[in-house]
Amino acid sequence: MNKIKVFLVIFLMTIYNKNSLPEVYKQSQIYQRVHSNLLISSIKNKKCALIDIRDKKFYAENHIPYSINVRAYIVKANFFLKQKKNLIIIDEGWGNKSNIKECLRLKETGFASISILFGGINKWHSTGGKLEGTKTHALNLSDISPKDFISVRDSNYWIVINADHSKRIKTLMPESISLPFQPSKKQNFVNQMISLFKQKNLPYARILIVDSNGSLYDSIKPIGDIPDQCVVFYLKGGIEAYEKKLNMLDAIRKGRSIEAGGIKKVRKGCRHCQ
């Protein structure tokens, strides 16, 4: 591990009410800055365990040193992990609701101290944390698909940045803030983004950068130093991919006419599909 001071934010799930997840999420905003070397040292000294709950394919490609790959629903059955004083959960960093629920369930089943690494493996990597695995270069850990963003957009603190002043982005994402990116003024773009976060006075935030089709992202990356309480993501395929996903979901919910063997049929909609 290099000597660069890397501070990570851990979202500690310490206050909870199993009957009210949204309230839990609002109340459990307790942050702790952890030096990466200190975190690794704690793992070596068996004071905590890093549990990477991502799919084994992604874990094999890249993971935090000394972390182990155990899917969330299997953790509760692992007697060895239950004996650990501190468990730190690693995921993609989007604020997945099912991961938060699973942490709450684990608390109820006897796991004394569970926390989720804020920003997940994306935050770790973007602040200089070392990775191991078969694919540790040219990573896209900060990319989030339209499908994944749709699943978490209403349950987290998101600041959406319209990076190319697109009217389409403003239409489909009314909450977006127009902040056109110019390659020659990259630092100014970053400074304005940080200023927006500070103005909102949020305890933490996930920043989503969106353009028309994803073509600007390579020029924006890497974003550089940002507050510990922030993590930056980029919407895969830009607003074009997002709109296609919305249209597809809308068609699924409403149902649609299909023709098979010369016979027209109406496929019923799905109100709960996402």
| Domain contains 266 | no
Strands 49-52 and 68-69: parallel
CA–CA distances in Å: residue 124 to residues 23, 181, 219: 27, 25, 21
Residue carrying the six token digits 């799919």: 55
Residue 161 inside a domain? The answer is yes
Residue 149, pLDDT above cutoff 70? yes
List pLDDT tens digits, range 231-263: 999 999 999 999 999 999 888 877 655 454 555
Same domain, 225 and 187: yes
Question: Which tens digits make up the pLDDT trace of 36-55?
Answer: 566 767 777 767 788 899 99
Question: Does residue 267 lie in a domain region?
Answer: no
Instruction: For residue 219, give its domain range.
Output: 143-246
Same domain, 98 and 26: yes
Residue-wise pLDDT tens digits, 171-186: 999 999 999 999 999 9
Confirm whether 136 is domain-assigned. Answer: no
Tell me, yes or no, whether 188 and 215 share the same domain.
yes
2 burial (CB, 10 Å; 0-12 / 13-18 / 19+) is exposed
* CATH number of the structural domain spanning residue 112: 3.40.250.10
Q: Is residue 190 part of a domain?
A: yes
Question: Could you tell me if 78 and 177 lie in one domain?
Answer: no
